[in-house]
Amino acid sequence: MEVGRSIVRVDAFDKVTGRAKYTGDLIDRPVLEAAILHSTIANGWVKAMDISAAQALPGVVRVLTCFDAPDIQYPTPGHPWSVEKAHQDVADRKLLNRRVRIYGDDIAAVVARDALTAKKALALIRVEYETCPVVLEPREAMATGTPPIHEEYPDNVLRHTVSEIPLPPDSGFQCAQEVLDCPGYHAFSGHYETQQVQHCHIENPVSWAYMEGGRITVVTSTQIPHIVRRVTGQALGIPWGQIRVIKPYIGGGFGNKQEVLYEPLNAWLCTQVGGRAVRLELSREETFQNTRSRHPISFDVRAAVDQDGRLMARECVLVSNQGGYASHGHAIAANAVTGFRQTYLDQIAHRSEAYTVYTNRSSPGAMRGYGIPQANFALECMMEDIALEMGLDPIAFRVKNLMPLGYVDPLNGITCHSTGAAACVEKGRQWIGWDALREKYQNQTGPLRRGVGMAVFSYKTGVHPISLETASARIVLSQDGAVQLQLGATEIGQGGDTVFSQMAAQAIGIPTEDVRIVSTQDTDTAPFDTGAYASRQTYVTGHAIKKAGTLFRRKLLDYAGELFPGAEGLDIRDRTVMDGAGNTLITLADLAMEAFYSLSHSEPVTAEATAHVKDNTFSFGCCFAEIEVDIPVGKIRVLRMVNVHDSGTLINPALAEAQVHGGMSMGLGYALSEEMKFDPKTGRLLNGNLLDYKLPTAMDHPELAALFVETCDSSGPFGNKALGEPPSIPVAAAVRNALRHATGVAVNTLPLSPQRLVEEFWKGGLL
């Protein structure tokens, strides 16, 4: 079995020895450097620009401003193109902007012989602005009289949606509101808020572009090469095939590179200097200010619970701060209310309302979990708070209401094909010693107090039925009987190449060591796939690999059948073709040589297949955390932490564990310390660097434990389901619930940073 083996990553040695090449390493010709001029206002207009001094600086090749850029609005999210106009992404970006919507908006660009000259030229550009008041919070943006940030959205609401699940016919209620107001049920309401955070992938966004044969090639650090091709074509107003995108190894993405960031501008700049190669590399500060982040969302939630602790109805009203540009539009807020609904079952009703609102903040977009880390914080704080209010055991209350096997979402039809949710909770409970610690940490006094907390999550796999799910795979025989695997799906550090290789090996019947994956995507030659996001690739691309692998295997066996007429029950084992009786007929290496060079029938075997996946399924899991709180100085120390996941069958358990560790780390920063802070007066990002933005270091982590409950999901290609994003989801709520257990203080806003904690402890009378 190749699936289920904990093999070493296929790229491990090249990456740790520095042989693996990334975008910036691949520049093979003289290259000009581009730098972007960012606005020093957050809201308003560029009235005029004087570029004469910049243009005159020796070494400057071209200065281009928002007055020169094509007047084309284009969308940027890494969504599959929709053939239905109504489902197409919001097109609100331009390459360079006269209308300034965030502090640091892109208003001009310099192309120069080197990066320092380009930077010096930026300082020589004089800009005249007309300013509008800065609006950083949705409530100000939505207030009557606030001028629109985009004229297409006069009230600054990008989208507002309301949905309610159908009520059971015999419920006796007309709508969710009636259930929530019903005096027979325990009524709960709460308000929770999450902060804006960033991915902090190691490699900042970087690309370089050049022209050849009248076409533009962009080499870029992206999760979505085929989508970059499409959007670059849209932004420049040229046929998509005129663009070729090459995606080598990348230093992380976590959703930030599930967006077309600066490739269109880079491509356009290249066309403006006669097709010479131009590099556009962002600094860390620009990455913070000008690329995506996770949406700050505020939640108002309600619930009606019966005396047995069953959820009768819930309501989730959220407001998502979209910043200056639509990016993924309303998709993330919509996903958040959906995720809030799905983990638990409401007996009668559920009502959701979501607002996505433009402000002048740096624009959030996709980030690991796509709205669910926020929704999970609200949901799992709520579940904890209800349990404590009603005197219920927090775990028993959750388990009682969990999504059951066979659940079909009443609004989008996503089905629970397998669930290890309750088993995950039980495993976590045992690991941490929940019952004993809950007892032990009651009624503590003194400055240091300990607590345990937990949170549960569910997460869907891929984007069906919201968007298209399609993936293609190509398998090509080598003369030595090994194969090459070519995909449009991308390795972004998550280990995709390794598990894809294992899946191909499994489908063909050969060892993974005989699968050589082509890691780089070149949109001219790579099969079509929309890329790495939504924890989709092992599921959707997995189906394509399985299909192509099965086809390839059949072609090999058919060819062997030609060589051995009369042989029956052919099978591939130990790199050989055997007959049903177990006799070795021919090695795969010999078979390959025959297939390539036979004078009677030459057919170098290839197989290509597309999987258009029209299904989806839920992953589950939980986090348990034991913490110690230093009350007078507001510090939380996480003593022990475990995530338990049901991601179906694990393709590579060692890689799965590593991925969980990374996600838990991301969750820990989200829980405790990370937050993008903006100056309320100017709208400027205050802490857009890795010193002031408090990403946890290795020394801020406890030992991280990752456990699994393996189910076999009938809809997954190998029993597998989502794993990439889920690990970061439940951590923040688990830590917050542990804090509540330790101190009795419910902190409902992230992050649980020292100053916030001290302020809450003052309010709660602990200090």
Partner 1 sequence: MFDLASIYEAKSVSAAIRALEDDPSAVVIAGGTDVLIKVREGRLAGRRLISIHGLAELEGIALTPAGDVEIGPLATFRQVAESPVIEKTVPVLGEAVDQAGGPQLRAQGTIGGNVCNGITSADSASTLLALDARLRVRGPRGEREIPMAEWYRGAGKVNLAPYELLVKIVIPRENYEGYFGHYIKYAARNAMDIATLGVSCMVKLSGDRTAVEDVSLAFGVAGPVPLRVYGAEAAVRGLPVAEAADQIGPAALEEVSPRTSWRATKEFRIQLVRELSGRALREAARKGGAVL
Angstrom distance (rounded) from CA 281 to CA 279: 6
C-beta of 259 vs 674, nearer to partner 1: 674
Dist CA 648 CA 358 (whole Å): 38
Phi/psi at 82 (5° precision): -105, 130
- CA–CA separation, 703 and 135 (whole Å): 42
Task: Please give the C-alpha separations between residue 249 and each of 17, 138, 222, 540, 738, in angstroms, as whole numbers.
Answer: 14, 38, 9, 21, 39
Enter the tokens of residue 120. Answer: 């010096």
Nearest distance in Å: CB 25, partner 1: 17
Question: Bridge partners of 266?
Answer: none
In Å, how far are 99, 172, 319, 448, 617 from 42, measured between CA atoms?
10, 52, 21, 43, 42
Residue whose C-alpha is closest to residue 247's, from 230, 265, 229: 229
| The residue to which tokens 């088993």 are assigned | 423
Q: Which is nearer to partner 1, 247 or 736 (CB)?
A: 736
* Min CB(628)–partner 1 separation in Å: 14
Take residue 405 and report the two structure tokens written for it. 């096997």
Phi, psi torsion values for 664, nearest 5 degrees: -65, -40
Query: Is the bond leading into 465 cis (omega within 30 degrees of zero)?
Result: yes
Q: What sections of 314-420 are H helices per DSSP?
A: 331-342, 372-390, 394-401
User: Quick one: 53 or 758, whose CB is closer to partner 1?
Assistant: 758
Nearer to partner 1 among residue 187 and residue 758 (C-beta): 758
Q: Which residues pair with 127 in a beta bridge?
A: 49
The smaller minimum CB distance to partner 1, of residues 186 and 694, is found at 694
Beta-carbon-side half-sphere exposure of residue 243 (alpha carbons within 13 Å): 30
Q: How far apart are alpha carbons 120 and 57 in whole angstroms?
A: 8
Among residues 558, 523, 405, 533, the alpha carbon closest in space to that of 468 is found at: 533
User: Looking at beta carbons only, is 383 or 676 nearer to partner 1?
Assistant: 676
Q: Which is nearer to partner 1, 511 or 764 (CB)?
A: 764
Decide whether 154 or 632 has the Cβ nearer to partner 1.
632
Shortest Å distance, C-beta 755 to partner 1: 4
C-beta atoms surrounding 241 within 10 Å: 11
- Give the largest Cα separation in the chain, rounded: 89
Nearer to partner 1, 534 or 757 (CB): 757
State in angstroms the smallest separation of the CB of 758 from partner 1: 6
- Minimum Å gap between C-beta 669 and partner 1 is 10
Query: Cβ 338 to partner 1, closest distance in Å?
Result: 34
Nearer to partner 1, 410 or 632 (CB): 632
Q: Smallest gap, in angstroms, from Cβ of residue 668 to partner 1? A: 12
Q: In the complex with partner 1, which residue's Cβ is closer, 165 or 758?
A: 758
Q: How far apart are CA 194 and CA 180, in angstroms?
A: 24
702 in Cβ contact with 432 (< 8 Å): no
For the bound state, the minimum distance from the C-beta of residue 112 to partner 1, rounded and expressed in Å, comes to 12
CA torsion 337-340-343-349 (nearest 10°) is -80
Could you tell me the smallest distance in angstroms from the CB atom of residue 697 to partner 1?
Answer: 5
Between residues 661 and 694, which has the closer beta carbon with respect to partner 1? 694
Smallest gap from residue 117 Cβ to partner 1 (A):
9
Closest separation in Å from C-beta 146 to partner 1: 24
Q: Distance from CA of residue 705 to its chain's centroid?
A: 22
Whether the Cβ atoms of residue 602 and residue 424 lie closer than 8 Å to each other: no
Q: How far is the CB of 272 from partner 1 (least distance, A)?
A: 23
The DSSP annotation for 10-67 comes to TTHHHHHTT-S-BGGGG--S--EEEEEEE-S-SSEEEEEEE-HHHHHSTTEEEEEETT
Q: State the minimum distance, in angstroms, from the CB of residue 81 to partner 1.
A: 40
CA distance 624 to 476: 46
Identity of the residue, 561 or 696, whose beta carbon is nearer to partner 1 in the bound complex: 696
H/E/C letters for each residue in 518-570?
A: ECCEECCCCCCECCCCCCCHHHHHHHHHHHHHHHHHHHHHHHHHHHCCCCCCC
Least separation in angstroms between residue 678's CB and partner 1 is: 9
Nearer Cβ to partner 1, position 653 or 754?
A: 754
**What is the Cα Rg of the chain in Å?**
27
Q: What angle do CA 218, 261, 467 make, to 5 degrees?
A: 100
Amino acid at 177: Q
Q: Is 409 or 760 the residue whose CB approaches partner 1 more closely?
A: 760
Comparing C-alpha atoms, which of 644, 714, 667 is closest to residue 456?
A: 644
Q: How far is the CB of 203 from partner 1 (least distance, A)?
A: 18
Closer residue to partner 1, CB minimum distance, 606 or 687 = 687
Q: How far is the CB of 696 from partner 1 (least distance, A)?
A: 6
Interface residue list for partner 1 (CB under 8 A) = 114-116, 119-120, 632-634, 673, 677, 679, 686-687, 690-692, 694, 696-700, 753-755, 758-759, 767
Q: Work out how close the CB of 737 gets to partner 1 at its nearest, in angstroms, rounded to a whole number.
A: 22
Cβ neighbours around 563 below 10 Å, total? 16
Rank residues 633 and 712 by Cβ distance to partner 1 and give the closer one: 633
